[in-house]
A and B are shown apart, each in its own frame.
Chain A
């Protein structure tokens, strides 16, 4: 449980202003956010609310006007431009709405190139790229260029690329926006598995409300500020994701509180709690 509480990235009082004088626009106002290891955080909000700005700052692609971003104990907001590529390469993984694969490279090469940038070369890079892609079900698509892949396959290649250098955190910008609901669900489920099984933190910016059920936390960003926060819980009986505030019932067992989608699930849990919590722990609050 201690590992689950380890903070991977912590943004404090982030403010970002664009322009100056009469044309000044404040995209973020004193935003703070802490993401723990293995946590899936969903940031939602209307267009222009500052989601992409926040993601860019967390991804060391943009510097805040004020505030700090601590990644592995280091404030990346004060690093020089020449130091940031290494941070992005070794600690952050990016997943984009448009997949953003390199069109001239095959699926394997798209992953391999990130390994090459990190100094892993030759057969080792090739082997690791193949392993990542095979894990994501793309073992038969290694030598296909992006134009020959479906949307879901492209996004899985992008996930493999994001994971290639074993980053601490995955930053996902509308990862399901260009996918149909089934494929989108599959992608989110994979991201959730990565968070839980590989202990990666996942920050998702999305308009897609269906992602909520896979997130540990949902944050609502509007006018550059977090307006409300929804903590997501997993019903240990039916395994459905539910917002803690909207849970139909809750039960405290062995000093932990469990939340349920219905009173039926709560009753079933109370009959034999151990049956449902064996091996569980990550989702409990």
Chain B
């Protein structure tokens, strides 16, 4: 056990230490929250695919996702797929992005036209039934709460008025919600005939979806066939590509804030002790010992900031979950790994200038008054 000059120096200048730890915590928290919100949004984005129990998605040829696209292909193709060996069932849906017009308010939604009793409808109801009657719509409970909608109230979507027939759970994501209407209502509202948007295929027990996809592709041409997971991945990739630059930019901002705060506090902490480092050099401390002190101080600040930031981020995530907010924070191993690497880089960069200053310090300076 030796006297830890690093700890002693840090705790002597408590205000500077707290500022340093706080600044690093803020920067790491910013990175974690941005990443967490993004990861949460990605997770919410594919809730529809993740929660609906099917195996294979059929879409219009060239279409591989839901967001910012439309898909229509002949209903006969879905009928043909039903006959492919290994297919258990094919349930088709309509899909369109539209605004729910609630009085003066507008709320963006993915509108799904599904056949009650079949796949493609809401996976969890908060109120009412998923077995919609003609002219009814299911909206998310949080949308209903936000716009003071109750079962029996009316709203407009797809150019028609619908009565709220039920409230679903967990269909809100960071940009929109999902609303469900009957398949035939959607068909009528859009004037569609003989087409579907997507088909949700289930395979027979013991069948490998990939094998079944191969057969569908052989036997039914002119549609896009993919696993449920590929469909979800495409959705994530599209949104990730769209928001990726913004997220990267914000991460860089967080990194630079952390670097600036720690760099500045590490430098001023070193500068304020430069005479003492000179004394230590004069009495026999080697450069590597002094560099170790500076580096250790930076590591302590970063680890302190990291622990606080992670604790706060998990608290925020828990709070958002408890509040059932539209935004969810998902802090996974990739985010943690990213901030650990970022924090390590901040430590090295922030210490480098003070370390150079210490390494170049002339011990004879101690005699200067």
Interface residues of A (CB under 8 A from B): 52, 55-56, 59, 61-62, 82, 85-90, 94, 96-98, 100, 102-105, 109, 112-114, 116-118, 121-122, 125, 161, 165, 173
Q: Does B11 touch A at the CB level, under 8 Å?
A: yes
Q: Does B264 touch A at the CB level, under 8 Å?
A: no
CB pair A122 B284 closer than 8 Å: no
Question: What's the minimum C-beta distance from A148 to chain B, rounded to whole angstroms?
Answer: 13
CB pair A117 B284 closer than 8 Å: yes
Question: What's the minimum C-beta distance from A68 to chain B, rounded to whole angstroms?
Answer: 18
Question: What's the minimum C-beta distance from B363 to chain A, rounded to whole angstroms?
Answer: 5
Set of chain B residues within 8 Å of A103, measured between Cβ atoms: 12, 276
Q: Does B1 touch A at the CB level, under 8 Å?
A: yes
Who on chain A is nearest to B275 by CB?
A100
Assembled-state Cα–Cα distance A52/B367 (Å) = 7
Assembled-state Cα–Cα distance A118/B283 (Å) = 10
Interface size counted on chain B using CB atoms at 8 A: 24
CB pair A61 B12 closer than 8 Å: no
Set of chain A residues within 8 Å of B366, measured between Cβ atoms: 61, 94, 96, 100
Set of chain B residues within 8 Å of A82, measured between Cβ atoms: 286
Question: What's the minimum C-beta distance from B331 to chain A, rounded to whole angstroms?
Answer: 36
Assembled-state Cα–Cα distance A121/B1 (Å) = 6
18 CB contacts below 8 A, A to B, read: A61-B364, A61-B366, A85-B284, A86-B284, A88-B363, A89-B283, A89-B284, A90-B284, A94-B282, A97-B369, A98-B369, A104-B9, A109-B3, A112-B2, A113-B3, A116-B3, A117-B280, A125-B2
Assembled-state Cα–Cα distance A135/B302 (Å) = 42
Set of chain A residues within 8 Å of B9, measured between Cβ atoms: 104
Interface residues of B (CB under 8 A from A): 1-3, 5, 8-9, 11-12, 275-276, 279-286, 289, 363-364, 366-367, 369
Partner of B3, one of A59, A87, A88, A105: A105
Assembled-state Cα–Cα distance A90/B289 (Å) = 16
Q: What 9 A-B pairs come out closest when comparing CB atoms?
A: A89-B284, A104-B12, A104-B8, A116-B2, A61-B364, A88-B284, A56-B364, A100-B279, A109-B3
CB pair B284 A118 closer than 8 Å: yes
Assembled-state Cα–Cα distance A281/B45 (Å) = 95
Who on chain A is nearest to B13 by CB?
A104
CB pair A113 B367 closer than 8 Å: no
Who on chain B is nearest to A88 by CB?
B284
Partner of B367, one of A114, A116, A173: A173
CB pair B2 A85 closer than 8 Å: no
Set of chain A residues within 8 Å of B5, measured between Cβ atoms: 102, 104-105, 113
Assembled-state Cα–Cα distance A97/B279 (Å) = 12
